[in-house]
A and B are shown apart, each in its own frame.
Chain A
Amino acid sequence: MSVTANSNMNMKFLYAGIVIALLIAIAAPFLASSDPDGLESAAGGLIDEVTYSTMEESAPFVESPMPDYAIEGQGKMGEVAAVVAGTILVLGISFVLGKAAKKN
């Protein structure tokens, strides 16, 4: 197989990957369970209530622009926009980092 054909196929994999990732990103706010994850759930069971609520309310070290994958006041559409934006951001950073790191 020629290098060009292979390269085109890998670009196809990229496009297919982007489509799948974006579909998951759009569906996630509607499908994702709102139950606490394993670590949070363990914390809820193992740490006394007062201490845990203090920990949960303590300000993070750095304030993030879209905490909890949401945009304030924008509801579900804001969540979709947040996860889609994150997906595109990760895609872009990985692509640029890959190009910068690869051997020339």
Chain B
Amino acid sequence: MHIPDSFIPMGQAIVYWVIALPFVFMSLKWARKELDDMKIPILAALAAGIFAIQALNIPIGMGTSGHMVGAVLVSIIFGSPFAGVLVLTLVLLVQGFVFGDGGITTMGANIFNMGVVSGFVGYYLFAALKSKVDIKAAAFVGAWIGLLVSALVCSVEMAIAGTFPLVAGLATMGLYHLIIGIIGEGLITAIVITAIEKSRPDLLDSSVTKAKGVRA
């Protein structure tokens, strides 16, 4: 879902930068408040893993492929969507400047879609579900729907840019990312969260592990 430079006119691309930057700024404030020597290795390992897995496109049929985004996974582990914004910003900076994956002018839109929208939607959906269903299911649904909503937001941006027609764009992007979200985002997020919960439950933010059954 990395938008190249040519898909959004410069004026609009700047608007998305203006929208994205406060979130990036707040994610740095989050890092200042929450990160310590215990958490930094976890953040760095996750960021590296997400960069690598974003290079692994999974075929979804219809001549189309997709990959994990990862903002929801990071947000769940750290108990804050700003962790997802921070990691996605770093990953997108390297992808854009070093590998030409995603434009530089459109990086604001990409940070907003993949870091902010998918991370916030996915994390808060997970948070709402975790007291009702098990943590695996909550992580799966959060990650899946987070990706889907970010693809729909991307379609609206494409329509405003005049690049895609609105309805056809929503339908096509929605269909592809509905499928990418199940395999690439939901399943992988649920598997990683389950593995961490089993092996190192202390790594998960306490709000994640103690939630179930506590709230009436």
Contacts and interface: CB of A to CB of B under 8 A. Distances in A.
Interface string A13-33: 110111011101101110111
A91 B169 contact: no
B55 A28 contact: yes
Contacts of B208: none
Interface in B84-135: 87, 90-91, 93-101, 103-105
Secondary structure class of chain A's binding surface, majority of residues:
helix
B42 A13 contact: yes
Interface residues of B, number: 72
B164 interface: yes
A10 B92 CA distance: 25
Interface residues of A, number: 65
A9 interface: yes
B47 A45 contact: no
A38 B151 contact: yes
A97 B47 CA distance: 12
B176 A42 contact: yes
A47 B47 contact: no
A94 B58 contact: no
Interface in B45-84: 45-53, 55-59, 62-67
Interface in A10-63: 10-11, 13-14, 16-18, 20-22, 24-25, 27-29, 31-39, 41-43, 45-47, 55-56, 58, 60-63
A76 to B, nearest CB: 13
A43 B163 contact: yes
A6 to B, nearest CB: 6
B3 to A, nearest CB: 7
Interface of B: 1-7, 28, 31-33, 35-53, 55-59, 62-67, 87, 90-91, 93-101, 103-105, 151, 154-155, 163-165, 168-169, 172-173, 176-177, 180, 200, 202-203
9 contacts: A6-B202, A17-B45, A28-B56, A33-B65, A39-B3, A46-B172, A64-B100, A88-B48, A91-B47
